[in-house]
Amino acid sequence: MTSVAARIKDLFGPEIAGPGFAFLAVMLFFGIASPQFLSAATFGSVAFQLPELGLLTLAMLLPVLTGGLNLAITFTANIAGLTVAWVLQANGGVDAGLASFALGCILAIAVGATTGVVMGLVIAYTRAHPILVSLSMMIFVRGLGEFLTRGGDVSGFPAFLQPIGHGSILGIPIPLLIFIACVLIWHVLLTRMKLGFNTYMIGSNIEAARYSGVNTRKVIVLVYTLSGAMCSVAGIIMLARFNSVRVGHGESYLLITVLACFLGGVNPFGGFGRVIPVFVALVVLQLLSSGLNLMGANQHLATAVWGILLIAVMILRWLAAQLMIFNRRKG
Amino acid sequence: MRKLVQSHATEFALLAVLAAMCLVLSLATANFFSLGNAFDLLNTSSVNIIFAVGLLVVLIAGGIDISFAVAASVVQYGTALILGWMGGGGWISGLVIAGSLGISLGAFNAFLIHRFKIISIVATIATFNIYFGLLMFFTQGVSIYDLPEWLTDRIVLFEHEMPDGTWAEITLPVLVMAICVIATWVLITRTTTGRQLYAFGDNPEGARRFGINIGATQFIAFGWLGMMAGIAGLIQAHYAQEVVPNALYGRELDVLAAVVLGGARLGGGKGSVLGCVLGVLLIAITQNGLNLMGVSPFAFKMIIGAIILVAITLSNTSLERLLPFMRTQGTRR
């Protein structure tokens, strides 16, 4: 029994406490406040909305764990979506085949990874601050997208893309399946692989990591490359969901991904944080937005409540730390 | 002289780049080197410079603020509503209302950061969402076009007729910008509070042990930015002659890029008003130059992004390697 508890604790870590508590609070509050809340429809809409924000949050998570930030995520996703759109259009638009879609996806991921490689190289070799590097990359990628599309929409895709955005297998939406697969990949990467271990090492103390023989530059470049590639996955899902691509789609998600990371217990200075609590935090955010929607509020109020929730969790964490200091003094 | 160059390496590098750019643009385009264009540049960059000097103070004190542009939108809207209730008002009351609304929003950030020990980027991302979400929720995204006349009237402080019959004008935003820049310069270089801000940003624990009041420092830094954001919000409403709730959304990151380009360090303890103004001007002049050279406006952001990326890459590596005497940081400014 204890070993099971230990395994669970091992899997989720202490970071789960904050988002787990928030999850229970949200379920309890809306369960009482609104009779329709605990229904399949609510969870269905959450399941369809979760992946867009979720995939971008995964892209944000890796750089945050190294103590950095990737502000280019949303526009990298846009440019990846545009790449797919152009490949499809070059191959007949509505009549394009599966092969051209596959080619588009590969090119899109290559484009996303390229932005990551450039950012990673600049950050690793010049030691410039990641906020500034990713910020200039964001301005560049957004400008590139605007330049190439003249600010307009790109649409007209083959019908087989529809199920990727809106279909479901065994009642589970396909975007959600893709998102859960990506969560698992990130979880395995961070807990079972050398790259994950080195990511945490760099986040807690980059000098110590370097002295203990970690090739910090390589790890940072890889982290940003993976982050860029994950943006591309988000971009492809967004293309399938909206059935069009426009530079600026999902722009408002940028700071919310950071919020979701911090809500999921990731340390802003890097080094600490896990994928599963971040996943729970994302579910909480979407449930909150669905619950408020049921009660007649709009998305903007939900955004404000997301901010309030983050502050509430931070204050609770501070209170818990104060309590621990108090108990230690007493004991 | 060498000492001056050493201690102000970023500012001199920026000045050199600016001078080179101006020279090239004057030769390449017909209109760049004219009084009219220079004044236009000043008029259009005023709001960003006011934002930038405010953000500079927070960066020097070791914090970061994402919420100021959205706070300025809240202030714009709030000020327009309060002025409506008051039935008019004037510049003095407008600036006082906007300034104090801004200070209170900044103080709320400082309160969260100081009282609950929340990291400034976390706190301000949260307040960014709160301010923007509530603003859009309560206003339903509706703009205000019915502003008092004194606010929408263009006030020309200096004008000069050009040979081709057009007028080169300096308008009120430039004067407000100049006052804000000078006030910030006095605050951070000529007062004890300024020294404390640098000390705190450079080494918070050291500053605390030295007896600097940490709480007061945070409130001054974020309050100052709040005040500047409030003033900038009012000036933006004056310049645009309308209040649009999401007009300033997204401006925070552009200003942040300009300020850091101007030599302020994310992490605190470093940065100057001159560098900060030059950073904003560099981006504004690039945009202006591209415009005059007939480059498509859709390409502006791309080119500016690439320039900042190249600038930080160079300023962090080869500049120090090419010019070894610049390696010593000199006085921390």
Q: What's residue B231's pLDDT?
A: 94
Q: What's residue A2's pLDDT?
A: 57
Q: What's residue A331's pLDDT?
A: 60
Q: What's residue A114's pLDDT?
A: 93
Q: Is the pLDDT of residue A154 over 90?
A: no
Q: Is the pLDDT of residue A254 over 70?
A: yes
Alpha-carbon distance B124 to nearest alpha carbon in chain A (angstroms): 9
Rg of chain A on CA atoms, in Å: 21
- Can you tell me the distance from the alpha carbon of B292 to that of A237, in angstroms, rounded to the nearest whole number? 40
Distances in Å between the Cα of A288 and the Cα atoms of A46, A175, A298, B61 are 10, 20, 11, 35
Q: What's residue B292's pLDDT?
A: 84
Binning pLDDT at 50, 70 and 90, where does residue B329 land? very low
3 state SS of A154: strand
- Can you tell me the distance from the alpha carbon of B68 to that of A16, in angstroms, rounded to the nearest whole number? 31
Contact B308 A310 (CB under 8 A): no
Both structure tokens of A228: 């860029």
Helix A2-12 with A275-294: angle, nearest 10 deg: 80
Tens digits of residue pLDDT in A161-195? 777 777 778 778 888 888 999 999 998 988 888 88
Q: Is the pLDDT of residue B156 over 80?
A: no
- Of the given ranges (A22-26, A200-204, A317-321), which has the lowest mean pLDDT? A22-26
pLDDT > 70: percent of chain A: 95
Q: Is the pLDDT of residue B258 over 80?
A: yes
pLDDT > 70: percent of chain B: 92
Q: Is the pLDDT of residue A44 over 60?
A: yes
Binning pLDDT at 50, 70 and 90, where does residue B328 land? very low
Contact B298 A150 (CB under 8 A): yes
Q: What's residue B3's pLDDT?
A: 65
Contact A129 B260 (CB under 8 A): yes
B2 located within any domain: no
Q: What's residue A306's pLDDT?
A: 87
- Can you tell me the distance from the alpha carbon of A288 to that of A294, in angstroms, rounded to the nearest whole number? 10
Residue in B125, B296, B305 nearest the CB of A137: B305
Q: What's residue A69's pLDDT?
A: 87
Mean pLDDT of A303-310: 88
Using a CB-CB cut-off of 8 Å, the residues of chain A touching B134 are 300-301, 304
What's the mean per-residue pLDDT of chain A?
84
B206 located within any domain: yes
Q: What's residue B6's pLDDT?
A: 64
Strand-pairing partners, residue A173, are A168
- Can you tell me the distance from the alpha carbon of A156 to that of A38, in angstroms, rounded to the nearest whole number? 37
The ipTM value here is: 0.84
Binning pLDDT at 50, 70 and 90, where does residue B332 land? very low
Q: What's residue B106's pLDDT?
A: 94
Give the torsion through C-alpha atoms of A40, A41, A44, A50, to 10 deg. Answer: -120
Q: What's residue B333's pLDDT?
A: 38
- Can you tell me the distance from the alpha carbon of A243 to that of A327, in angstroms, rounded to the nearest whole number? 56
B4 located within any domain: no
Using a CB-CB cut-off of 8 Å, the residues of chain A touching B306 are 136, 140
Both structure tokens of A259: 């919020």
- Of the given ranges (A108-122, B95-109, B234-248, B261-275), which has the lowest mean pLDDT? B261-275
Q: CA-based angle B68:B72:B73, to the nearest 5?
A: 120
B331 located within any domain: no
Using a CB-CB cut-off of 8 Å, the residues of chain A touching B300 are 143
Which residue of chain A comes nearest to B303, CA vs CA?
Answer: A140
Per the structure, the count of domains in chain B is 1
Amino acid at residue number A251: E
Tens digits of residue pLDDT in B27-56? 888 777 777 888 888 888 999 999 999 999
Q: What are the φ and ψ backbone dihedral angles of A91, each rounded to 5 degrees?
A: -105, 30
Tens digits of residue pLDDT in A257-304? 888 888 888 888 877 888 888 888 888 888 888 888 877 778 888 889
For residue B74, the enclosing domain spans 12-17+24-316
Mean pLDDT of B93-99: 91
3 state SS of B246: coil
Tens digits of residue pLDDT in A205-223? 888 888 888 888 888 999 9
B182 located within any domain: yes
pLDDT > 90: percent of chain B: 31
- Can you tell me the distance from the alpha carbon of B232 to that of B230, in angstroms, rounded to the nearest whole number? 5
- Can you tell me the distance from the alpha carbon of B76 to that of B260, in angstroms, rounded to the nearest whole number? 26
- Can you tell me the distance from the alpha carbon of B208 to that of B288, in angstroms, rounded to the nearest whole number? 45
Strand-pairing partners, residue B167, are B161
Binning pLDDT at 50, 70 and 90, where does residue B327 land? very low
Using a CB-CB cut-off of 8 Å, the residues of chain B touching A268 are 119, 121-122
Mean pLDDT of A38-53: 81
Higher pLDDT: A65 or A9? It is A65
- Can you tell me the distance from the alpha carbon of B119 to that of A240, in angstroms, rounded to the nearest whole number? 37
Binning pLDDT at 50, 70 and 90, where does residue B130 land? very high
Domains and CATH numbers, chain A: 41-325 (1.10.3470)
Establish if B306 touches chain A: CB-CB under 8 angstroms. yes
The one-character DSSP state at A193 is S
Residue in B129, B256, B302 nearest the CB of A140: B302
Counting Cβ atoms within 10 Å, is residue B275 exposed (0-12), middle (13-18) or buried (19+)?
buried
The one-character DSSP state at B144 is B
Q: Is the pLDDT of residue A30 over 80?
A: no
Contact A303 B256 (CB under 8 A): no
Q: Is the pLDDT of residue B153 over 80?
A: no
Distances in Å between the Cα of A100 and the Cα atoms of A78, A152, A231, A244 are 19, 23, 20, 17
Establish if B119 touches chain A: CB-CB under 8 angstroms. yes
Mean pLDDT of A27-38: 78
B140 located within any domain: yes
Q: What's residue B70's pLDDT?
A: 93
Amino acid at residue number A223: V
- Can you tell me the distance from the alpha carbon of B277 to that of B22, in angstroms, rounded to the nearest whole number? 16
Per DSSP, helices labelled H in chain B are: 2-7, 9-28, 35-60, 68-86, 91-115, 120-139, 149-152, 172-190, 192-202, 204-209, 214-240, 251-261, 273-292, 300-316, 318-322
Q: Is the pLDDT of residue B219 over 90?
A: yes
Per DSSP, helices labelled H in A193-298 are: 194-204, 206-211, 216-242, 253-263, 275-294
B322 located within any domain: no
Amino acid at residue number B326: M
- Can you tell me the distance from the alpha carbon of A287 to that of A306, in angstroms, rounded to the nearest whole number? 11
Contact A314 B298 (CB under 8 A): no
Q: What's residue B330's pLDDT?
A: 43
Q: Is the pLDDT of residue B321 over 60?
A: no
B321 located within any domain: no
Tens digits of residue pLDDT in A2-19? 566 666 666 666 667 777
Rg of chain B on CA atoms, in Å: 20
Find the CATH number of the domain harbouring B55: 1.10.3470
Taking one residue from A and the other from B, the number of pairs with CB-CB distance under 8 angstroms is 152
Cβ atoms of residues A240 and A52 within 8 Å: no
Q: CA-based angle B213:B215:B219, to the nearest 5?
A: 120
Q: CA-based angle B265:B266:B267, to the nearest 5?
A: 100
Q: What's residue B110's pLDDT?
A: 94
Cβ atoms of residues B44 and B284 within 8 Å: yes
3 state SS of B40: helix
